[in-house]
Structure 1
């Protein structure tokens, strides 16, 4: 699949991801080796990951040890305040109100009615991914939900054109939790990164101190394996 520049991101498209980690330096070593990322200082305690110079993700230090070690996907919005209100009116929850991130843009953290956490990004100086849909970059976001019809209703209300409009290519799927995980697993988003060879990437994950949670298995969008990094953050490898 061809590379896509961040300028094409419309409302409701996944446009950025970040990981909240106890040890950012350890994260740089893990993901730098796994995906070939380079890093530069960004805002606060976070760093930007770059793939051949293009921004692909951020790694941030957890400010509270009670916070989960997790990857979060951010959906583009032209108006973070307005979209946050729509989330609340649709039965979701705003976890972090719109927060300016320097001159980069405005971030929101929210949860859908089942509790799956996601972000919103209103861009300013930083529009989002510099590259995606290639090995080492963002490839897909999968929501594992209890009720996929309810999820379609909620996200369709928020981002109808991105998900269901003419020519929509949302990079965002919905599936029942039990398709891959134990039924007791809470609903959640799983960020997928592209790889050329899923089996080879799984070997690298294990060598670097991560572990395999599920797969590889064949999904409608490619060959997928669910893994955790060496600090416990879950993500997926996607071979198209």
Structure 2
């Protein structure tokens, strides 16, 4: 079981969370689907809870705070100095939506948008270091962005986080991004009917069984399970319209 209990290197997608219209229903859907348990409700933090996979932090979930916002998953990048990272975001043409905000002793969060309007977050770890389990069923496997202008996005994220890119052969310009020699995510263009922006991909034991469970619970299939060189992959939408990916 790949685990980590220390802060992730700067620029690594280190945390994900879900903004819900109906927190209780979302907890039931994702808990059943991915085998999650939940920490106790936290009124002092707006009802935000952590999802646990085998007792380790896998994701967060809380009520939507912005009026009119739609349920969605947010990708957070590790930042040892959130304020300095915000300066680089602005200098590169991005927007800081939520300025560095301390979340008790757990850490400091930021919400930002790249110049194309794609939302992402920063997490400066305190006692909460981000995901503690990854790359196993029920845990985060990968984060990637689908953007209108991939070249401009690569320039922006390289300026902010220092990413290096490598094109995936035969993937229509899709690139991985790496910190040093370690790929940590992907970036590519948009496709008709698919969601734009940052996507969260979960590892699952069976892509077909997971897709069937999503449909049985009221979700829909955006891309049916297909075999790739990396595993069997599918894109789905939950009952409230939020897109996510699964990889077997």
Q: TM over 0.5: same fold? A: yes
RMSD of the alignment, in Å?
1.8
CA distance in 2, matches of 1:136, 1:56: 8
- 5+ residue gaps, structure 2, are 165-176
CA distance in 2, matches of 1:219, 1:174: 17
Does 1:50 pair with 2:64?
no
Query: Kindly tell me: are residues 138 and 186 of structure 1, through their superposed partners in 2, closer, same or farther at Cα, counting changes over 3 Å?
Result: closer
Aligned to 2:244: 235
Aligned to 2:14: 15
Query: Kindly tell me: are residues 82 and 234 of structure 1, through their superposed partners in 2, closer, same or farther at Cα, counting changes over 3 Å?
Result: same
1:87·1:158 contact (CA, 8 Å) conserved in 2? yes
Deviations 1:11-33 (A, max 9, x none): 00011000000111101110111
1:191 alignment partner, one of 200, 209, 212: 200
CA distance in 2, matches of 1:221, 1:166: 21
Deviation at 1:128, TM superposition (A): 0.4
**Runs of 4+ displaced beyond 6 Å:** none
1:198·1:216 contact (CA, 8 Å) conserved in 2? yes
Deviation at 1:6, TM superposition (A): 4.2
Deviation at 1:8, TM superposition (A): 5.9
1:155 alignment partner, one of 154, 157, 164: 157
1:37·1:50 contact (CA, 8 Å) conserved in 2? yes
Aligned to 1:121: 123
Aligned to 1:223: 232
Q: What number of residue pairs does the alignment pair up? A: 233
Deviation at 1:219, TM superposition (A): 4.8
Task: Please state whether the residue corresponding to 1:151 is helix, strand or coil.
Answer: helix
Aligned to 2:133: 131
Task: Please state whether the residue corresponding to 1:150 is helix, strand or coil.
Answer: helix
Deviation at 1:101, TM superposition (A): 1.0
Aligned to 1:39: 38
Normalising by structure 1, we get a TM-score of: 0.91
Q: How does 1:13-92 map to 2 (within 5 A)?
A: 13-41=12-40, 42=42, 43-92=45-94
- 5+ residue gaps, structure 1, are none
